[in-house]
Structure formats: C-alpha cells, structure tokens
Structure 1
Amino acid sequence: MKRMLARTALALAVGGLSLAATSAARAQFTDGVVRIGVLNDQNGIYADMAGPGSVAAAKIAVEEIGGKIGNTPIEIIVGDHQNKPDIGLNIARKWLDVDGVDMIADIPNSSISLALVQLVKEKNKVAVIATSNSNRLTGDSCTPNHVHWTLDNYSLAKSTATEVLKSGGSSWYFVTVDYAFGHDMEREAGQIVKNAGGTVVGSVRHPLGSSDLSSFLLQAQASGAKVIGFANSGADFTNSMKQSAEFGLTQGKQKLAALAVYLTDIKSLGLTSGQGLYLSEPFYWDLNDQTRAFAKKFSEKMNGAMPTSFQAGVYSGVLHYLKAVQALNSDADGRAIVAKMKDLPTDDLAFGKGYVRADGRKIHPMYLFKVKSPAESKGPWDLYTKIGETPADQAFKPLEAGGCALVKQN
C-alpha cells in the first residue's frame, strides 16, 4: 500500500511538472498569438509600391512558415497611416498598448518610421522597416528593436552612380527637387561619382510639385554632361521623364539615371517615356527562378500584378522575423528577437541569402537596370533589363561610417 501511494504521489508530481512546463511554454507567446501589424499607406501616393501588396506579401511569409509557430497561430492586421505622422503613431501605440501587436512591418514615410522605431524601443517590441529610405534608420536613429530591410538613399545612389560610371557615364548633371530628400540624394550620388574619379559639372533645383520642368531639363541638356541624374521622385520624376521624352532626351546621347524610382513608377509612366532610363533596385520579379517563384505567389493574390522591391522586402523581413521567433520559441522580448534576426542568416525567394548587420541594416546586392523600349518588352510587367550588380558587401554604407551607437568602435 505504501509503495502504491508513493507511486501515485510521484505520478502526480511528474504530471504537475508537465503541466507547469506546458503552461510556461504557452506563456512565451503573448496573448497566445503572434500578431503582426502592417502599417502603410493603403490608398494614397505609396499605395501602389506598398499598400495592399505589402499585406499580401506578409501573408505569403506567414504561409511559408506554416501559418503558426508550434501551436501558436500567426495573425496579420492592417493599418492605414495616410502619410500623417500623428495618425501613424496613434495606430502604432494602440496596437502595442491595447491590441497585442508584437511586430510592426512596412512603414513607408520616413517621418513616421523614424518616430515609430523609438516607440517600439520604448515598448520592447519589433519593427521591420521595409519602405522607408532614410539612412538615419541605421545611423543616429538605430535601435536594438528594429531592422531596416529593402534599401536606403545611400544604396540607391551608390548602385546607380557606380554602375553608370562603369559604362562610361563619367560626368554628371543633377536635376534635383529642392527639399531635404533631393539635396541628400544629390549629395550622396555626387560624392560617389567624385570618389570614383568622375565629375559633377553642375545641378539645377526645381520646386517640389513642378508641372513645367522644361527650363531645368534644357539646362541639363545644354550642360554637355554624359549623365543627367534625377534626384526627385513621384510626380516630379514622372513629369521629368515625360518632358525629357518630348525634348528627345530619352533617345539622345546623354544617359538618364533615376536615383529613387521603382517598378510601379515605371509601369505608370509607360515605356515610351521611360525607355533607356537607368535605375537601381535590390529586387526585380524576373531576376531569376527564385524571384519568379515569389512573384507567382504574389500575382495570384494581387490579380496579376508583380511585386515591387518594397513588397518583396515586407515578405523577406516578416519571414525572417518569424524564423527568429520560431528559434526562440517566444515573441515576448523584442530586443532578443532582433538580436536573433542578426544572428541568423537570411534566406528567402525574393533576396536569396544575406544577413542583418549589427546596426540593423539588411545586406544584399543592388542591381542596375535599364528600362526597356516598347519593342523590347514582352508583357505588361516586362520593364527592366539587368545591366550591372553592386555586391552585397559594397552596396550599403560601411558599418563604421553610419554613426549607429550599437556598433562597437575598435
């Protein structure tokens, strides 16, 4: 009888330990779900390059990981910041304080992303910034709670300027939008041109939102520079290219190089006006078998549309976040998750193999493309021809030059 009681007591004790272990394992996942918020512009100027497509891309990452981690489901929620910092931060704060969001992804608009990374640091959550270009995200605004994924102003300028120089574009003239973004892009690209032995023969600055750029384009044409570099974006860039076509610049001897232009911009502009333009991106849907496989998954969700680099960045960043959570078996500690994201190598259909640096910068190659002519294109999304490649270890600002406090200086 005593032996039977002892066995029963032991069995109860072991069972109690097992239940305690199970409860502890469950407690590693806050609210019993891994909840990801995709925060972006759903209907405005960034909706085509990110918007609903970024949500679809995040869902592809969730599907690839199996829809759950262990027995813990993964949930995607969506917020529209309308490109207004107050709205964006209010959504983010509610998500983190009330709705149990563990990670926020995408975040186009640098004024919003720079403020948001400080918020996730305060709350010890995670941000994967896929659609903001500011170098500050891995510079003076770096935190242990966020990573910067797709590209930045330095990588765009470095890839475009370096590769165009290799093809004979030794002298540059810049057409620059007259505010901080344009000034920064011109400065970055101009310095890279000079460092590589090229020359900057001049520049002209136009007001933001100019409808008539003819006088600025004629100055660029008359400069004699081998390359006209456009340090503008959006409608300013579209107007630049349409009017360049009218003046014959798109088919002239001067090369045209865009410093911040993306797939949906070219799709909207059309090949007649965009043909011959040089631009840089870290992803193109038709680059290789892997990118085509991701594009197929994306197009099935987006009525035949192809993914932009930013949407590919959301997919890649969300997938890597989930791999880190899976490795830790927890979504509770944002700093620990970001540290694991830096520890694990990256590997996915969109970007292949890569890694995340100590400053939070995701590292991968950048590619120089040339926009096809209408005669060269074989379909509505067949827009680019690959011209060159900047290797991953050269594409982004050197680690020691960024000014991130997380980087230990020797």
Structure 2
Amino acid sequence: MTRFAAARRFAAALFAIAAIAPRPAPAAELSDGIVRIGVLTDLSGPYSAIAGQGSVIAARMAIADFGGQVAGRPVELVAADHQNKPDIGSAIARQWFDADKVDVVVDLVNSAVGLAVMNIARERHKVTLLTGTITGRAVNEECSPTNIQWTNDTYALANSSADALVKRGGKSWFFITVDNAFGRSLEKDAAATVKRLGGTVVGSVAHPLDTTDFSSYLLQAQASGADVIGLANAGANTIDAVKQAAEFRIAPKQTLAALDAFLTDIHAIGLEVAQGMYVTQGFYWDFDDATRAWSKRFFAERQAMPTVQNAAIYSLVTHYLKAVEAVGGDDAAKVMAQLKSSPVKDFYARNAEIRRNGSLIHDIYLMRVKTPAASTYPWDYYEIDTVVPAAKAFPPLEASACGLK
C-alpha cells in the first residue's frame, strides 16, 4: 500500500469515528444569553392574595428546583404590579419586551390586563402563560400562537359548578357579577349551562371591581327568590359578598355558589360563615400526597397554603424551562411547539393536554366548604364533592372560535 493510500484510509477511519461519536450539545441559542421570566400580577389590589406575592414565590421555587439555569445559562425573575389597569400592564410589558429582554410573561391576573398583554406579546414574538386571565376570549376569538391558558377558563369553572348545582335542584339562578371581562365571561358561561340543563336565570346585577358594599346587590338577589346566587367575581369581592350574605341570612334558604373562589378567600371569610358554600377550582393543596408535599414547601415561604394560581405558576415555569432546554433556545415559536407537544403531568395538572387553541385542559374539582367541626387541622377547608374530568369540564375543541390550526 502506498503512503498516499494509507493516509486516505486513515482519514476515512477518522471521519467514520467522528460520525458515530456523541457530539456535545449546542450552546443554547438565547437571545441575550439569559432567560428572563416576568411575573406581572396584582401585588396590592383585590387579587393580591390569590396571586400577587404568592405567584412570585412559586416562580422562584420553580427556577430554584430547575437549578437556577437552563442549558448552562442563568434564569432571571422580574416582577411588577399592574394595579389591575390594562394601560399600566401594557406599559410594563412593552418595557420588559423592548428594553429589559423579558422572554415570557406569566400570571396576568385580571383578564382585561391579560388580553392586552397577550396582544403585545404576539406582536413582539414573545410568550405569555396565563394563570389569572381566565376569560374564554383568551382561547377563542383572541387566541394567540404565543399564548397558553394554564388554569381553568371561565367555561370550565361555570360549567362544572352550574352542572352539579342544577342537577341538585338549583334550577333558578341570580348572578352578582364584577363588571369586567372576567366577570362577564364567567356569568355568560354559567348562564348558558343553567339554561342548557333546563334551568332559568331570573336576574343579574353588575358591580365595580373596587366596591366593598354588596348590600344592594344581595338584597336584589334575595328578593329574586332564586335557588342559587352565583358570585361571578373573585378575591376581595368574593370575600366581601360572602361575609355580607351571612349578615342577610341568605343561606340556607338560597345556595351561595362562588364560581371563582380561592382557598385564601375561605381563609379570610372563616368556616363559620363560608360553611356549605360550593367552590370550583382545578387544584386543592390537600388533594393527595403530591399536592401536600409541594404545598408544605410553599407554606414555609408564604405562611399560607397555595391557591390554584400559585400552583399553576410553579407548573408552567417548570414546563417552560424544560421546553427552552429541549429546543436549545428561547425562540417563541420553537418553545411553543415544544410546550404543546410535551406531556404535562405533575402535582398540579391531572389528565392534562394542551390544545392547539392554547388551552391546557385538566380535571376540575367541585368542592364544598367544611363545617368548623369537620375541619381537623389548619387550612383543612374543603371536601371534594365531584372530580369533573378534563374532557367534560372544558368545551370541545371544535366549539372554539380560535383560528389556530
């Protein structure tokens, strides 16, 4: 064999070895070398107890559990208070996207703020992952290819609550509704379910977000004689309405259904007043060993058990970081494709699936608030009445007005 032929054979062998040898993973294609997550929430207003600082803590926990970095690059967390004002939320989002290089905005409690920020994110090719924007518009006519609604939407809450209560004899309903996108959507979805099952809506009244006096609204609901008074509001509004309903002795003659009440609301109201009330949510801290284990860690940081919003924040931040790591970068389209194609199965999401319209469907729980005597330890507030399977709780995909394919 000539020296030239031997050299060629040696070079070919080296090429073959290189072709089959494992190669190091490519460096993450991060837009500025850092993954930045923004928690845009209500830190001081009526939704601050259900989201607020608890959402910041949950996001921080998820980042720490992921190791504080993704693909060898650091993960940073920023937070801001949108004050429940779409113009303030929009201004913060533009600053974050354009100047501060934030890659994903999460939480967005308050549907009006969330819808506004969703549109800005779509224009900037950025991701939004919603826990506090639960209006059905987010996954229907205003759906976005860079958005996922990680918690239940108004349809899931309203459908699960109304379905169970109408079948228990609650045939006539009166709604007390917060006058914003979330409240209107929640009432609309609940009313549709009531009517579909043969019930009737005998009336409704809207109240401003910042109200604290529900006396006139409750008197109208009481005078209506409705079997069920549906509270289509949340946070401080729900707390005030339930406390004042007790003063008017509305229960047990009429059933009070808080369509979007949270664990922290019941804690603030107290079991003596809230007992017997029905609550619908997609998470309860005391559901099983997995929920209890994470919730006790959260409690050590927050000194309160987590709401559904808090648990969902941990879930979505974890899955977002997994997606960034899997695709090797923070490009919104690639990350969204990875998120939607990856299974979501953790202590928060049961029987979960991300649909093409951006809806994460999962099991929903109809729960009844315990009596003081039935509660045996702190934050032991609910008994699970019904587990509503994801496919039944959420609307069929073919019914969605979202144009995403």
Moved more, 395-404 or 335-344: 395-404
Compute the displacement of 1:273 (Å).
1.9
Moved more, 236-245 or 189-198: 236-245
The answer for the alignment partner of 2:200 in structure 1 is 199
Secondary structure of the 2:365 match is: strand
Change in Cα spacing, 1:399 to 1:236, as seen in structure 2 (3 Å) is: same
Structure 2: gaps spanning 5 or more residues: none
Compute the displacement of 1:392 (Å).
0.4
Moved more, 154-163 or 77-86: 77-86
Compute the displacement of 1:64 (Å).
3.1
In the alignment, the residues of structure 1 paired with residue 54 and residue 209 of structure 2 have an alpha-carbon distance, to the nearest angstrom, of 27
In the alignment, the residues of structure 2 paired with residue 214 and residue 119 of structure 1 have an alpha-carbon distance, to the nearest angstrom, of 39
The answer for the alignment partner of 1:400 in structure 2 is 398
TM-score calculated relative to the size of structure 2:
0.88
The answer for the alignment partner of 2:268 in structure 1 is 268
TM-score calculated relative to the size of structure 1:
0.87
Secondary structure of the 2:380 match is: coil
After superposition, what is the alpha-carbon deviation per residue over 1:83-113, rounded to whole angstroms, capped at 9, x for unaligned? 2333322222222222222111111122221
The answer for the alignment partner of 1:299 in structure 2 is 299
> Which residues of 2 match residues 377-392 of structure 1 at below 5 A?
377-392=375-390
The answer for the alignment partner of 1:66 in structure 2 is 67
Letter in 1 for 2:90: L
After superposition, what is the alpha-carbon deviation per residue over 1:111-165, rounded to whole angstroms, capped at 9, x for unaligned? 2211211222222221111111221111121111111111222111111101222
Please identify runs of 4+ aligned residues in structure 1 that moved more than 6 A.
21-24
Q: Is the 8 A contact 2:40 2:82 kept in 1?
A: yes
The answer for the alignment partner of 2:329 in structure 1 is 330
In the alignment, the residues of structure 2 paired with residue 65 and residue 177 of structure 1 have an alpha-carbon distance, to the nearest angstrom, of 38
Q: Is the 8 A contact 1:294 1:350 kept in 2?
A: no
Moved more, 364-373 or 78-87: 78-87
Compute the displacement of 1:368 (Å).
0.8
Compute the displacement of 1:181 (Å).
4.5
The answer for the alignment partner of 1:358 in structure 2 is 356
In the alignment, the residues of structure 1 paired with residue 23 and residue 96 of structure 2 have an alpha-carbon distance, to the nearest angstrom, of 28
Letter in 1 for 2:316: G
Compute the displacement of 1:182 (Å).
3.9
CA RMSD of aligned residues (A): 2.9
Q: Is the 8 A contact 2:37 2:105 kept in 1?
A: yes
In the alignment, the residues of structure 2 paired with residue 127 and residue 208 of structure 1 have an alpha-carbon distance, to the nearest angstrom, of 24
Compute the displacement of 1:236 (Å).
3.9
In the alignment, the residues of structure 1 paired with residue 29 and residue 236 of structure 2 have an alpha-carbon distance, to the nearest angstrom, of 47
Change in Cα spacing, 1:392 to 1:375, as seen in structure 2 (3 Å) is: same
Moved more, 220-229 or 345-354: 220-229
The answer for the alignment partner of 1:282 in structure 2 is 282
Q: Is the 8 A contact 1:293 1:349 kept in 2?
A: no
After superposition, what is the alpha-carbon deviation per residue over 1:288-310, rounded to whole angstroms, capped at 9, x for unaligned? 111112202211221x3111111
Letter in 2 for 1:318: V
Q: Is the 8 A contact 2:59 2:317 kept in 1?
A: yes
The answer for the alignment partner of 2:48 in structure 1 is 47
Secondary structure of the 1:243 match is: helix
Letter in 1 for 2:321: L
Compute the displacement of 1:171 (Å).
2.9
Moved more, 105-114 or 77-86: 77-86
Change in Cα spacing, 1:353 to 1:215, as seen in structure 2 (3 Å) is: closer
Structure 1: gaps spanning 5 or more residues: none
Letter in 2 for 1:356: I
Q: Is the 8 A contact 2:239 2:269 kept in 1?
A: yes
The answer for the alignment partner of 1:314 in structure 2 is 313
Compute the displacement of 1:287 (Å).
1.1
Compute the displacement of 1:208 (Å).
5.8
In the alignment, the residues of structure 1 paired with residue 160 and residue 62 of structure 2 have an alpha-carbon distance, to the nearest angstrom, of 28
Q: Is the 8 A contact 2:27 2:71 kept in 1?
A: no
After superposition, what is the alpha-carbon deviation per residue over 1:69-89, rounded to whole angstroms, capped at 9, x for unaligned? 232222222222222333322
Q: Is the 8 A contact 1:231 1:260 kept in 2?
A: yes
In the alignment, the residues of structure 1 paired with residue 183 and residue 128 of structure 2 have an alpha-carbon distance, to the nearest angstrom, of 26
Change in Cα spacing, 1:36 to 1:198, as seen in structure 2 (3 Å) is: same
In the alignment, the residues of structure 2 paired with residue 283 and residue 328 of structure 1 have an alpha-carbon distance, to the nearest angstrom, of 29
Secondary structure of the 2:166 match is: helix
In the alignment, the residues of structure 2 paired with residue 211 and residue 76 of structure 1 have an alpha-carbon distance, to the nearest angstrom, of 34
Q: How many residue pairs align between the two structures?
A: 395
Compute the displacement of 1:346 (Å).
0.4
> Which residues of 2 match residues 26-105 of structure 1 at below 5 A?
26=27, 28-105=29-106
> Which residues of 2 match residues 192-271 of structure 1 at below 5 A?
192-205=193-206, 212-250=213-251, 252-271=252-271
Change in Cα spacing, 1:42 to 1:173, as seen in structure 2 (3 Å) is: closer
Q: Is the 8 A contact 2:46 2:236 kept in 1?
A: no
Secondary structure of the 2:345 match is: strand
Compute the displacement of 1:340 (Å).
1.2
Change in Cα spacing, 1:257 to 1:60, as seen in structure 2 (3 Å) is: same
Change in Cα spacing, 1:93 to 1:224, as seen in structure 2 (3 Å) is: closer
After superposition, what is the alpha-carbon deviation per residue over 1:370-407, rounded to whole angstroms, capped at 9, x for unaligned? 11222222334222221112210121232222211104
Compute the displacement of 1:360 (Å).
0.5
Change in Cα spacing, 1:97 to 1:26, as seen in structure 2 (3 Å) is: farther
